[in-house]
Structures are given as structure tokens and as C-alpha cells.
Amino acid sequence: MSDDHHRQNQPTNPQQNPRVRGEIGGSSSTNHFKPNYPNPPDISNPDAATLREQWKYAIRQYSKWYSHAWGTAILAGVSFFALGWVIKGGNPIPSFHQNDDAPPVPPDSPDANQTR
């Protein structure tokens, strides 16, 4: 009995739904395929004063973010340098001090004459 009931509810000649056949951005009257933007674009371009104000605001925001990024990078560099100084117990950059592990060069050797 349930099979007969389901067959009665199904259409005998299924037609394609015109909304399903429509292309994206087509002339169909539904918004099924059109993207739903949370902030749709303006209908017309704003006046020059509004654009100038928006541009200045964007430049200020970018400048603030840029300076914050550089400040964070410098702070991180100084922090890692200090951490290296604490861990090593001295200057962590080897180019700022002499290599104490190398044997001293005798004054009579040919290598000593080249360094003068």
C-alpha cells in the first residue's frame, strides 16, 4: 500500500525546473545562483570628497599597521638578541669579539706579516 501511495504523489511527466536550468547571473528572476554579498557595491560612484576621505582613512590604517609590524619585528629581534646574551653569557654575535679559541700567531710566521 505504501508503494502505491508514493507512486500517486510522483508526477507522471517530470519537467525540468526553469530555475535549475538558468545560468549563473542569467535572466532568471530568482537569486538562487547569484552571490549574496554582505556589503553590496554602491549603485553609483560616491562624490570626490567621500572618496578622498576614504582614501586618507585607508592610508592612515595602512601606515599604522606598517609601523606596528616594524615595531614588532624590531622588538622581537632585540628580545632574541637579549635571550641569546643571557643563554650564552656574553655577546651572541661572534663578529663583535675576537675568536679566543684560535691559537695566537707567532710574530716570525709569514701569516703574521700578511695581517700587518
Q: How far from 44 is each of 36, 37, 40, 41, 47, CA to CA, in Å?
A: 19, 17, 12, 9, 9
> Which positions of the chain have pLDDT values less than 50?
18, 20-23
Mean predicted lDDT score pLDDT of the chain: 75
pLDDT tens digits, residue range 62-83? 999 999 999 999 999 999 999 9
Which pLDDT score is estimated for 3? Answer: 56
The values of phi and psi at residue 38, to 5°, are -70, -25
Whole-number Å distance between alpha carbons of 70 and 64: 10
